[in-house]
Amino acid sequence: MDWLVHLPNWPLQPAIWPLYLTIVLVLYTTLRYTVTRCKAPTIKFNHYLPNFFNRLLYFIDAPGMIQYGYEKFAGMPFQILKPDGNLIILPPRYMEEFKNLPSSRISLLHAQHKNVLGEYVNILLDSELPAYTVTKKLTPALNRIVPRTINELQYAFPTVIPECKDRWVSVSLYEMILSIMSRTTSRIIVGDTLCRDERWLNLVIRYTNNIGVTIFLLRPFPKFLRPLMAKFLPSVWKLPKQLAYACDEFFLPMINERRHKERTDPNYKKPDDFMQWMMDSADNEYDKKPETLTHGLMTIVALAAVHTSTMLTTHAIYDLILRPELLEPLREEIQETLKDGWENATQASFLAQRRLDSFLRESHRLNPTSEVTAQRIVRGEKLVLSDSFVLPKGSHICFPSGPMSRDEDIIPDAMIFDAFRWCRDPNSRNYLVTIDRTNMHFGYGRQACPGRFYAVSTIKAILSRFIMEYDFKFEKDLKKRPKNILNGDHIMPNMMTKVHIKERGVKI
C-alpha cells in the first residue's frame, strides 16, 4: 500500500503544529546544537532568520538551495544547514581525489545510517555483509538470475495487474509496481519457497512503508528532538516487531534447516539465492547470527532493492505517458531484442536494449532519488585535501549530482528531456549503470551502488513486458507530470497518482 496514504493523521493536523513549534523552541533554548565546524561558506534559506529556523527550512527548499550554492560557489565547497548537522557539498573537481579513498576514511555506511535515520529504522551499522554479498555474489550471478526473474514476473503480472482486456482500469501505479517488484526481488533474495507466501509479501510492503513513514516524518526534526517524537510514531514501534517476526516466522527456521542439511546430508545442494550467499559469506560470529542475517536481508529488500527500483520505474512510466511518441521506437527495439520471446530473455537481451536504457537514464537524470550523491562521513582524523581544504572529523560530505546533471557545461541542452541522447553514438558506453560526471545518481568511486546492475536488469524486464502488452494514460487525461514529492534533498515520484491501463492484445 502507498505509505503516504497511511501517514498518521495527527502529525499532519494544522492544530498540532503550534505544539511542535513550542516544544522545539523550549528545547532549543536549553540544548546546544553541536555541528562539525567547516570553513566552507554556508547557504541559508534566509540570512535574516536564526540558524535554527534555516535548518528546519532545509526540508522546504533543499534542491533550490543546493542549486543556488552550486552556481554561486562554482568550483568551491559550500555547506547547507540541516536539522541534524551541516551537509558539505563538494565540487566535481574533488571526484578523483575521493574515488579510491577507503571506507575507513570516508564511510558510506555511516552516511546512510545518518541519512535514513538508521537508529529508528533498524539499519545495520556494524556489518558490511549485505553490501559485500551484492558485489561479490549477486552481480556476477546476473546471467543465472535473469531467467528466474522472468519466471517470477510471469506469475506476478497476472497476479498483481487487474484484468483489463478491452477496457481501461484505474490503478495506483506506484502501488502496483511496488507489489511486482517485491515479488520479483523476493524470488532472488529468499528463494522460491518464500517468495509467493502472502504473509511474507505483506510483511515486505508494510516494512517498506513503515520505513518510509518514519523517515518522512522524523527527518525534519532536529536530532535532539527525534527520540521524543519517535515515541509518538506507530511506524517506529512496528519496525522492531516486524523484524522480529521476520526472523522467528521465516528466516530462523529456514537458516536452521539449511545449516542442518548442510551438516547431515552429503547430497544436499545449497539453494542459489541471496540468503544462502550471505550465509556462506559470513566470516565472523556476529554476521552468522540469524538475527544479523535477517536484519541485513530486510534492509536489502526494503531499502536497497524494492523501494528505489519502484521509484525509478514509476518515474519512467510517468515520463512515457507524457511522451507517447517514444512508445513506437521502444516497442520496435523490444521486439528486436526479444525475438525468442520475453519468457526466454537473457541478460544479453536487456544489455542490447540501448534505447530503453537511454530513456531510463534520461528519466533518472531529471528525476533522481536525491539532489546529492556519494554521501560519506569523514572518519578517523580530519581529512586534508590536495588544495589544503580541511574536512573535520565527522564531516557529512557529498557531491551535487542534481545540479551537475542539469549543468549545460557538462551535458548539452541539459534541461531538455532527450530520451535517446545516450544511444545515438553506437560506440558510446553511456549506459544507465555507467558512472561518470554526467551520471552520478548511483554514487561514485569504490562505494558506488553495487546493486545497480541487478536493479536495471529487473526494471528492463518489467518495462519490456509492460510497454509491449499495455496502453497506459493518466487518470482524467492529466496533461502535466505529477509533481514529485520532496523531503529535503530526497525526491520521490507522486505516489497518489492514478493511471489507467488497458491490454493491447499483444503478447511478447
Query: Which DSSP category does 282 fall into?
Result: -
Q: Which amino acid is at 338?
A: L
Does the annotation flag 164 for ligand binding?
Answer: no
* Residue 433 neighbours by CB distance under 10 Å: 17
Question: Strand pairing partners for 492?
Answer: 485
Confidence at 357, pLDDT banded by 50, 70, 90: very high
Confidence at 246, pLDDT banded by 50, 70, 90: very high
Q: Tell me the pLDDT tens digit for each residue of 57-90.
A: 888 889 999 999 999 998 899 999 998 889 999 9
Residue 356 lies in a domain: yes
DSSP 301-358: IIIIIIIHHHHHHHHHHHHHHH-GGGHHHHHHHHHHHTTT-GGG--HHHHHT-HHHHH
Q: Which amino acid is at 472?
A: F
Q: How far apart are CA 333 and CA 283, in angstroms?
A: 45
Which residues, 6+ apart, have CB-to-CB distance to 31 below 8 Å? Answer: 224
Residue 16 lies in a domain: yes
Q: Residue 180, SS3?
A: helix
C-alpha closest to that of 419 among 325, 283, 489, 332: 325
pLDDT of 190: 93
% the chain with pLDDT above 70: 93
Residue 347 lies in a domain: yes
C-alpha closest to that of 275 among 260, 254, 249: 254
Residue 273 lies in a domain: yes
What phi and psi, each to the nearest 5 degrees, are found at residue 490?
-75, 140
% the chain with pLDDT above 90: 67
Q: How many Cα atoms within 13 Å fall on the side-chain side of residue 488?
A: 22
pLDDT of 146: 96
**Domain total in the chain:** 1
Which helix (H) or strand (E) segment holds residue 263: the answer is helix 252-264
pLDDT at 479 over 60: yes
Task: Show the DSSP H helices in 161-232 as ranges.
Answer: 173-190, 198-218, 226-230
Which residues, 6+ apart, have CB-to-CB distance to 173 below 8 Å? Answer: 314, 317, 318, 497, 498, 499
Which residues, 6+ apart, have CB-to-CB distance to 131 below 8 Å? Answer: 109, 450
pLDDT at 461 over 70: yes
Residues in the chain: 508
Query: Which DSSP category does 299 fall into?
Result: H
Q: How far apart are CA 305 and CA 309, in angstroms?
A: 6
Give the pTM. Answer: 0.90
Q: How far apart are CA 138 and CA 188, in angstroms?
A: 9
Residue 131 C-alpha cell reads as 553490501
Q: Which amino acid is at 243?
A: L
pLDDT, mean over the chain:
89
Nearest-10 Cα torsion for 422, 426, 429, 434: 40
Q: Tell me the pLDDT tens digit for each residue of 262-274.
A: 999 999 999 999 9
Most confident of 52-61, 85-94, 124-133: 85-94
Confidence at 125, pLDDT banded by 50, 70, 90: low
Residue 84 lies in a domain: yes
Most confident of 158-167, 207-216, 478-487: 158-167
pLDDT at 326 over 70: yes
CA 371 and chain centroid, separation = 13
pLDDT at 7 over 50: no
Average pLDDT over residues 381-393: 91
Q: How far apart are CA 133 and CA 129, in angstroms?
A: 6
Q: How far apart are CA 76 and CA 90, in angstroms?
A: 7
Q: Tell me the pLDDT tens digit for each residue of 9-49.
A: 434 444 445 545 544 554 444 344 445 577 889 998 888 88
- Per the CB < 8 A criterion, the answer to whether 105 and 246 are in contact is no
CATH number for the domain harbouring residue 496 = 1.10.630.10
Which residues, 6+ apart, have CB-to-CB distance to 125 below 8 Å? Answer: 109, 110, 113, 118
Q: How far apart are CA 188 and CA 324, in angstroms?
A: 33
Residue 40 C-alpha cell reads as 566552507
pLDDT of 127: 81
Residue 81 lies in a domain: yes
Confidence at 220, pLDDT banded by 50, 70, 90: confident
**Strand locations in 401-452, DSSP E?**
none
Q: Which amino acid is at 144?
A: R
Residue 250 lies in a domain: yes
User: Residue 448: which region, alpha, beta or left (left: phi > 0; alpha: psi -120 to 50)?
Assistant: beta
Residue 5 lies in a domain: no
Confidence at 458, pLDDT banded by 50, 70, 90: very high
Residue 35 C-alpha cell reads as 555541528
What phi and psi, each to the nearest 5 degrees, are found at residue 373?
-145, 175
Where does residue 389 rank: exposed (0-12), middle (13-18), buried (19+ CB within 10 A)? middle
**Range in 133-142, 167-176, 178-187, 379-388 the model is least confident about:** 379-388
Q: How many Cα atoms within 13 Å fall on the side-chain side of residue 474?
A: 20
Alpha-carbon distances, residue 320 vs 179, 227, 325, 363 (angstroms): 20, 42, 8, 9
Q: Tell me the pLDDT tens digit for each residue of 172-195.
A: 999 999 999 999 999 999 998 899
Domain around 313: 10-503
Question: Strand pairing partners for 78?
Answer: 89
Confidence at 109, pLDDT banded by 50, 70, 90: confident
CA 439 and chain centroid, separation = 15
